[in-house]
Each structure stands twice: as structure tokens, then as C-alpha cells.
Structure 1
Amino acid sequence: MPKAIWNGAVLAESDRTVVVENNHYFPADTINKEYFTDSNTHTTCPWKGVASYYSIEVDGQINKDAAWYYPSTKEKAKNIEGYVAFWKGVKVEA
């Protein structure tokens, strides 16, 4: 089952991930919310829409903007709307 791990903590775990462009997107209800804080960062993907970000905090260490999600996607990406993906050193074990 895919898991997202950073700094020894399991950030998310699910057998319902969706892989898009080599990134595992985890359903929002499978993330461990205690590690996540909202970020003011936003980026735009031409076919998915506007992404929002979370910073991750584990044991006092912060990984800024290490997770992203699309709260409202364009039509072609509806299957990942609200799902969370990771980067910046977060290891996803499939």
C-alpha cells in the first residue's frame, strides 16, 4: 500500500492513490492532518488548474510547500480533485 514518509513520520497511506505524471495522489481522508499546515503558495497547471500547498512539520522540522492539491480541478483532472501529492524529499513507497 502506498505510503508518504518524511522525517520518519507516515504522512499518508492509502491503497486508493491515483498516479498522475509519476506522482501518487492520496485521497484527502488518508493524510495525517496533524503534520499539515496551509500555505499561501499557489501554482497553475495548464490542464489540472490552480494548486494549493501544505507545509509539513514533523518533530519541529518544517518542509515548506512539500505537499500540494487541487481544490477545484479542470475537467480532465477531476479524478484527483482534493487529492494530495508530495515532493521536496517526501518519499512515497508504493
Structure 2
Amino acid sequence: MTKATWNNVILAESDQCEIVEGNYYFPHDSIKKEYFKESDTHTNCFWKGEASYYTIEVNGEENKDAAWYYPTPKEKAQNIKNYVAFWKGIKVEK
């Protein structure tokens, strides 16, 4: 089971992760949605497409844009459509 944690709280856990460029992407239904807030931030990857971001909030602390996902990925990245990946100090471990 792969888990994503921050501030001693499990944000996501799954046995169905996809690994792309060294990042674990969690299925959308495996995240604990109460910790995720939509962000206005978007970035572009030349082969995956436009990424959208979540700000993580745990116990009153925010980690801005610490999770991202691809709602409409390009053809070669369809396996991570709406899967969520993490950075900015969020610990991902198997």
C-alpha cells in the first residue's frame, strides 16, 4: 500500500498508483477529499498536458499547490487522468 502523508495525516493511500517520472499518482477515489482545496494554479507539460493543483490543508496549516492532477491529459498520459501526485514536503512511501 502506497501512502501520502503530511503533518502526521494520511492524505491518500492505494495499491493502484501509477508511477510517472518518479512520481506516484494516486487514483482520485483514494484521496481524503476533506484535506484538498482547488487552486487556481495551472502548469503545462509538453507531453502530459495542463495540470491543475490542490492546496492541502491539515489542522489549520496550508501547503499551497502541493498536489496536482491532469483532468484532460494528452493521449500518452491517459493512464493518469484525474490521478493525484504530491510534492512540497508531502511524504510518499510504499
**TM-score, normalised on structure 2?**
0.99
State the identity as a percent. 67
Query: How far, CA to CA, are the matches of 1:8 and 1:22 in structure 2?
Result: 23
Query: 1:51-90 deviations in whole A, cap 9, x for unaligned?
Result: 0000000000000000000000000000000000000000
Structure 1, unmatched stretches of 5+, are none
Q: Partners of 2:35 and 2:9 in 1: how far apart?
A: 9
Could you tell me which residue of structure 2 aligns to residue 75 of structure 1?
75
Report what 2:85 is aligned to: 85
In 1, the alpha carbon distance for the partners of 2:93 and 2:35 equals: 18
Report the Cα distance in structure 2 between the residues aligned to 1:35 and 1:87, rounded to whole angstroms: 15
Q: TM-score, normalised by structure 1?
A: 0.99
State the alpha-carbon separation in 2 of the partners of residues 39 and 85 from structure 1.
14
Residues paired across the two proteins, number: 94
